[in-house]
Amino acid sequence: MQNFSRREFLRRAALATAGAAFAAPFIARSSWAATPSEIVYHASIGASGQAGADLGQLARHPCVKLVAAADVDRARAEHLKKEFPDIRIYQDWRVLLEKEKKLTSINVSTPDHMHAAIAMSAMELGKHVYVQKPLAHDIHEVRQLTHYAHGKKLVTQMGIQIHSSSDYRRAVHLVRDGAIGKIKEVHSWCGKKWGDMGPLPDRRDTPPAGFDWDLWLGTAAEHPFIGDGYYHPGNWRKRLDFGTGTFGDMGCHIFDPVFSALELTAPLSVRSEGPPPNQWNWAMDAVVRYVFPGTKHTDAKTIKVTWYDGDASPPAEVLALIGDEKKPSCGSIFIGTKGVMLLPHIARPKLYPEAQFEDFPMPKVEDGNHYHEFIDAILGRKKTSTAFDYSGPLTEAVLLGSVAVRFPQATLDWNARKLQFKNESQANSNLRRTYRRGWEVKGLS
């Protein structure tokens, strides 16, 4: 929010706010009436927080009829009845998928560890899916979702809403058009601190009324419920078994324009130089160094992309390239052969040295609607821009960082085709997890 006013934020409501659970206010939808063949019958898995933002934006499309929602916490779903009196509320998403026979599509806006199970179950039934970032908790899950969606030709979209913003799209144009020359290296960061180096509290609490802890755990291993917000509704991001830390939360957003602008493929290697997680929680202050194959937009056969989070930051000599500009809380610096681009999250890209680019004509790019693009693709009007064919490899790259942090100071060589590390067999055990008994999902477990 620091890069633009609240008024500007609200103007971009269709994009939602990346990485934050801002529930967009429901507003009256268009009075335009869709024909029966154009109606998209939609359900939301998740009902509040980021899920509220997602379903609110999707429901504004004139061809969408929001028919159902599921949330393991009943109290977080009750508000939907006010805006959608006919909506059917479920606690168990599996029951929703079983009973709602007419469904066209769903959005999956839950803690990370449940993304894959829900999305795959829906796709097995032929439903189109909009899945929040990261696409899944584990790299194996991501690969399986990507392959299945591609083979079945289903419409998919990952919830990196800022991908459709004019700011990110303009940055992609600038790099691809060669505004700062060939790219030599990129530094990306986010100051969020989704980590906790403390021990697991030694206690068992009673879940609040209407909250099904077993359903919330889903595919994860058994854990006793701990109250005071330790897991629910938001701090699960810090916990190894449920979230993916700051990197998983924000990496898919911040790396998106880097991946897109440079047309990157799978990395060759990844190395963590920050602290490792403890037995229960992600660490903070990560420094993760990637080496990707070069592309037509890069200056060499390989390109280095480095990630920093928490209090970690690009080195002084890199920050000096943007002069007196204050480093945004999240963003990227692209270093090219002819100049430098700062891309804040979320604001217009800036080119440096400023004197050199004072009269540079910025490309004219309009904001898109990431949510409505998904619905329009279901209707055959266009294609989605972050289908799993794109967002799957992007998420795999991000989650490689989440594996690397467990092996600090070790350069892990990656074989994307075989989905394994070449030189560290122990790291391969972190590519997938065993689902809890009774929660097995075809194609994943």
198 inside domain: no
Cα separation, 264 vs 260, whole angstroms: 7
Which CATH number is 107's domain given?
A: 3.40.50.720
- Dihedral (CA of 136, 142, 145, 146) sign: positive
Strands (DSSP E) along 116-192, which ranges? Answer: 128-132, 156-159, 183-190
Q: What pTM does this model have?
A: 0.91
- Dihedral (CA of 371, 1, 258, 404) sign: negative
120 inside domain: yes
384 inside domain: no
425 inside domain: no
SS3 content of the chain, % helix, strand, coil (to 5): 30, 20, 50
- Count of domains forming the chain: 1
Looking at residue 33, what is its pLDDT? 52
Strands (DSSP E) along 281-423, which ranges? Answer: 287-293, 302-309, 330-336, 340-344, 350-352, 411-415, 420-421
Cα separation, 9 vs 410, whole angstroms: 41
86 inside domain: yes
138 inside domain: yes
339 inside domain: no
Cβ-Cβ contacts under 8 Å for 212 (sequence gap 6 or more): 72, 73, 91, 92
Digitized pLDDT (tens) for each residue of the chain, 445 residues in all: 333 333 443 344 444 333 333 333 333 344 445 666 789 999 999 999 999 999 999 999 999 999 999 999 999 998 999 999 999 999 999 999 999 999 999 999 999 999 999 999 999 999 999 999 999 999 999 999 999 999 999 999 999 999 999 999 999 999 999 999 999 999 999 999 999 999 999 999 999 999 999 999 999 999 999 999 999 999 999 999 999 999 999 999 999 999 999 999 999 999 999 999 999 999 999 999 999 999 999 999 999 999 999 999 999 999 999 999 999 999 999 999 999 999 999 999 999 999 999 999 999 999 999 999 999 999 999 999 999 999 999 999 999 999 999 999 999 999 999 999 999 999 999 999 999 999 999 999 8
From 117, 132, 145, select the one nearest 46 (Cα to Cα): 132
- Token pair of 324 as six digits: 């007196």
421 inside domain: no
Helices (H), 12-114: 50-59, 80-83, 93-99
Q: How far is CA 434 from the centre of its chain?
A: 23
Cα separation, 170 vs 210, whole angstroms: 46
**Domain housing 15:** 6-162
CA dihedral 84, 87, 92, 95 (to 10 degrees): -160
- Residue 272 pairs with which residues in a beta bridge? 288
